[in-house]
Each structure stands twice: as structure tokens, then as C-alpha cells.
Structure 1
């Protein structure tokens, strides 16, 4: 069956799946991407249960969950996908038990494979310098697109914010006096992130020419697309990939790569892990700790190159 096809599910699963989707949207306020992933996973689970002869969630048990995951594994799903599908199932069964649709939570005993987390690629400090210097050259003669692109790159690197967070910024989210930006992150959690003088200068330069792209429907969006609407993540990704391609030897990174780069350079500069966690908006310190592996690898590389008895 193709991934895009809608699998057949028994009637007894339709209402619980719809109710859980509403719960994810209203109570947990998950992102559209997470919502699509969870609902797709659970529809796959319901289809598998239907195939096994289950006609409602009332008969859902640990054996059925393991059967579904085993079937997914035979389809060659990646470790990351398997980990997410286990998480989807556990969230669903916990909600079913909490709302009285199941007497106990079978997903609580469901083991989850750990997703392989490769070390994130990051630019070196001199590569960042070349990137931003090249972008500044493209912003000559007060060209609005060039000025916008420079401000986008400077702000992404200065703050380490996510591409969606950057696209959602409004003009008044920047506090010029304190040089901090108010960011609405995952789960609609708000945080304030500082930025430096180069980013402030680039943003000021962009705001001075923003009116050349603004249209009646532009609203308060800080960054605009060529047609005057709020800039979208695809445009930002294109900008980052195109500019980084101009830096000799630099890895091909997108906006998330600049986020990795900002975190890596903060830690290399002596920032503590908790501060970096807060700046990045990570809910768990474990997510931030992956950057310590990057800095450790770089330290090892520098040692081996520089120490006479390495």
C-alpha cells in the first residue's frame, strides 16, 4: 500500500481517532507537522488492528501494539520512524486509559527503539565570517532582497532560533534597546533571546528598506517575501543554502544547520549547557547535550593536529 493511501479501519476506531486528533490540537497544541505524523501513525495502527479482527479500541492490548510495530519493522522503517510510532502509540493508549476508553494503559509497557541521532553538522567560525561577509556584499545599494537575506542570516546565527520561529517574527518582537527578540517556540512557549550588534545593524538596514516590499496586506511581519507577504520557511531555506554554497569547503546546511552552528559556537566560547538550552528553547537538557559531542570532537581534532605527541 502506498503511504499516501488511506487504509481501511473498522468503524469503532473512527471516533476515538478523531477525538484524539482534537485533543492533540486543542489541549496539547502540537505543531501541524507533529499532528500529521501522529494521526498517520495511528491510522496505520487502526488499520493493522482491523486486519487482525479488532473492531474497536476496547480490545487494544500490548500484544496488538507489538504486532503492529513488528509489521512496521518488516517494512524497513528507520529507527527514527519506529521510535516516533512507538511514541504515537503510547500517547494514544495513555489518552484512551485517561478518558476511560481502556481500563489500563497497554502502551506503558511498550519498549521504544532509540532513534539514531547523528552529530549535527556545523560551520566553522571562519566559514560563518565568510558567509556573512559575502551576504553583506550582496546587500549593496540598499537592495531590499539582499538586505533582507543578510538580516535573516545574521539573526539566525546570532540567536539560534528555528526557521519557523524566524518566519513568525513581527516587527515589534524586537526590543532594540535591550537587543533581545521575543520568540514564540514549540508548544507556544515564549522566550527572549539576545542578539549582537552585527545582527542589530543588519536588521536596522533591512527595516529601512522593508517598505519597498511591503504591501497593504503585509501586516506586522518582520521579514517579507518578494511579493510582500510574510516570508515562508522554504524561501529562508533557499536563501541559506544558496549563500552557504558560496563558501568554499563549507558543508551544505539549511537554517537548522545555522542553529546547530550557533549552539556549537556558544559552547566552544564557554557558555554553560543550561543557558544554551534556554536560548534554543529545548524542553529537555538531553536535547542540548548532543552539542557537547560536537565540541568534544572538534577539541580532539584540534589536539591531534596541534600536539606533537598526539
Structure 2
């Protein structure tokens, strides 16, 4: 087989001949794009090399476990062969080629069973939520209320609320005036699936909301509207506009990173856990149906603890 970049023993294997048949099938009968066939040829060439290295020269000898072990090899890499470990996305792409090949072999009667059909791609690594240090959050909040005019008062109230109670941006812009109780310092949020929850609101956020209700919102409300956060025309503030409010505030605060409304939600959860809050309490505040969803934030705090330990403990290294 040509173009695989593998050694002669591999090229001479029966599996290599079957790969060639499969690639011809993709090209002629399926009309696959040239780039797709090239990608499959490279991925299956690596698969052939792996099988031969395990003493497997016939496709009928391959087991489901062999396919799974191949994915492990891809993730591990081969330093001696100059092959770097593959990312999960690249492994998943390679598995598509391998599964397609085995499915073709079974359909053509080359083998009895398709041993690769039940092999799943690796789970992508869990991405930790991005949160901001407390001083950067405070800088954003201060910059949002730098001016004393209706929209500035609204912007400060909106961002204070997002950080104070961890609300989703969709929950915040859906609020009506009656959903806020400034005396008991609580807000009623309507989350996913229409589920409601009442969460506490901190003093600075209540102060900002009071200032907005007294000096800001009346100037924006051209007619009677229940919405809490209004745009310049007196209608309910949109999701895009709320996002822009935060982006502008972050820019004025001098932050050179992307900041989204969800960043404030992540920061809310992380700062609570760093302060000793129970994960189940944070779950309720965030409106998560399962504590498993909230536990991703505990990974953030564990990583922070590791960093502090590594730099502060005399016997950490």
C-alpha cells in the first residue's frame, strides 16, 4: 500500500490490502472528498502499523479490546517512533476511520463481526469554568457605575446582581420589578424548565438596584413596563445588550481577557466555595438540578489549593 508512511511489513499485510479496498470504495462508490480519503489513509496506516506491532496480520484476528488499546496508544504516543500523543479530538477522528473500515469489512464478508462498532471515542477533558479574581470583579463593577446617569445606574445594578446571586444572564433580563424584594434582600429567579428559586442578594447589589429604581429606571421607562432592566427605548433589555454592558465595563476596567456574563456566574460559585460554602448550598443558589453539575467548581478550588501548597509549603517539592 502506498502513501501510508508505514514500514514494508505493514504494507505487505493482508490488512493493508483490505484498507486499500476500503479507500477505493470511499473514492469510487461513496464519492468521498480527496482530503477525507487522505485523512483516512493516514489514520488507517497508523492503525495497520499498530496491528502488525501486536502480531496481528489478519483483520479476522482483531478484537474489540485491540481497537480500544489502539486508542490508548494514540493518547500515549510513541516517543521512539517520533509520534506525539494525540488530542482527544484527533483520536475521535481516527476512530471514525477505524470504525468505518471495520463496518465495511463486515459488510463485504471479509470478517464475520464488526468488532469496532461498540468502541466509543474518548471523553473530552473536562474544561474548568473560568472565573475572575475578586479584585478584577470589583474593578468591573466599579467601572460599570463610574457615571451617574440612568444607563450607568442600570449597568451597575445589572452586574452587581449577576455577581451577587450567580444568576444566568437569561434569568436576569427576564426579571420584573416585582421579582426583587429590597427589604428582605432576595430575588425570585426563573431558571431552566421554568423552575423558580428565591436566592439572597448582597447589600451592595441591593444598594445599586435601589439607586437604579429611584434615579435610573424612571428616566428609561417611557411607558408602564414590568421589566426590571430597561433599554434606552423603555423596552426590556436584550441578552446581547446585557452582554455588551459587561464587555464595556471589563474594557474600562483594563481587563485584557474575554469576559462573559457566565464568567460572573462562575466567579460567584468559585468565590463562595473558596470562602467555605457547602457545595449543596451553591447547587441550590445556582439552580443546578444535580450536585454533580456544581462539583466541577470544586476542581477549581482544589487546583488553587495545590498552587498555594506548592509555593508556600517548605516540603512541597
What is the TM-score with the length of structure 2 in the denominator?
Answer: 0.59
| Residue 151 in structure 1 maps to residue 157 in structure 2 | yes
- CA deviations on 1:95-143 (whole Å, 9 max, x unpaired) are xxxxxxxxxxxxxx9979745431111110111122222223x232xx0
Task: Name the count of aligned residue pairs.
Answer: 202
The 8 Å contact of residues 175 and 229 in structure 2, kept in 1 or not, is answered as yes
- CA deviations on 1:40-72 (whole Å, 9 max, x unpaired) are xxxxxxxxxxxxxxxxxxxxxxxxxxxxxxxxx
Alpha-carbon RMSD = 2.3
- Which of 174, 192, 216 pairs up with 1:186? 192
Residue 146 of structure 1 aligns to a residue whose secondary structure is helix
- CA apart distance, 1:258: 0.4
- CA apart distance, 1:305: 3.0
Q: Structure 1 residues 285, 115: closer, same or farther in 2, change over 3 A?
A: farther
| Residue 134 in structure 1 maps to residue 140 in structure 2 | no
1:210 corresponds in structure 2 to 217
1:265 corresponds in structure 2 to 271
1:168 corresponds in structure 2 to 174
- Which of 120, 132, 142 pairs up with 1:123? 132
Residue 126 of structure 2 aligns to a residue whose secondary structure is coil
Alpha-carbon separation, structure 2, partners of 1:126 and 1:186: 30
- CA deviations on 1:76-107 (whole Å, 9 max, x unpaired) are xx97xx9xxxxxxxxxxxxxxxxxxxxxxxxx
1:177 corresponds in structure 2 to 183
Q: Structure 1 residues 115, 161: closer, same or farther in 2, change over 3 A?
A: farther
What is the TM-score with the length of structure 1 in the denominator?
Answer: 0.61
- CA deviations on 1:236-265 (whole Å, 9 max, x unpaired) are 111112212233456321100100000000
The 8 Å contact of residues 123 and 251 in structure 1, kept in 2 or not, is answered as no
Q: Where do residues 63-82 of structure 1 align in structure 2 (5 Å cutoff)?
A: none
Alpha-carbon separation, structure 2, partners of 1:192 and 1:281: 10
Q: Structure 1 residues 130, 308: closer, same or farther in 2, change over 3 A?
A: farther
- Which of 247, 260, 274 pairs up with 2:280? 274
The 8 Å contact of residues 121 and 251 in structure 1, kept in 2 or not, is answered as no
Q: Which has the larger radius of gyration?
A: 2
2:107 corresponds in structure 1 to none
Unpaired runs of 5+ residues, structure 1, are 1-77, 83-108
Alpha-carbon separation, structure 2, partners of 1:156 and 1:200: 12
Deviates more, 1:112-121 or 1:173-182: 112-121
2:298 corresponds in structure 1 to 292
Residue 192 of structure 1 aligns to a residue whose secondary structure is strand
The 8 Å contact of residues 182 and 210 in structure 2, kept in 1 or not, is answered as no
